[in-house]
Amino acid sequence: MSGSRFVTAINCIDGRVQMPIIEWMKREYHADYVDMITEPGPNRMLAENPSDPDVISIKRRVGISVMKHASKVVAVIGHHDCAGNPVHRETQIKQIKAAVETINSWGLHVQVIGLWIDDQWAVHKIV
């Protein structure tokens, strides 16, 4: 793994969104690997309850990716037709933006981005 470039994705557990995110992040950030941290509706979790034990677990896992794999980019993702966060796109976009703020507050000194996956499984950078 020496010399490998890692990025990190905090993604939904939904299998439909895994490959689009992996492909997009590898292409956009010239990464070799994408560390995937999955939860149902992670944008909602990170936006609405940053002190929740599940969010603390996400923070720990992101820390491993950043410290052990030298990940320089962390993405938080929301997507169309999410069973874990069944709200409209506009609400999810607001949650993504708030989730980015939560992750930035962790002081990891990495680029934090927000991504939205639409109904055609295309990835859009929000923040």
Looking at residue 105, what DSSP letter applies? T
For the chain, the domains span 6-125
Closest by CA to 34, choosing from 43, 49, 23, is 23
pLDDT in tens, 96-119: 999 999 999 999 999 999 999 999
Token couple for 75? 């993405």
Taking a C-beta distance cutoff of 8 angstroms, is the pair 100, 75 a contact?
no
pLDDT in tens, 1-26: 556 899 999 999 999 999 999 999 99
> Mean pLDDT throughout 71-86?
97
CATH architecture of 6-125: 3-Layer(aba) Sandwich (3.40)
pLDDT in tens, 32-44: 999 999 999 999 9
* Confidence (pLDDT) at 4: 81
- Phi and psi, residue 85, nearest 5°: -150, 70
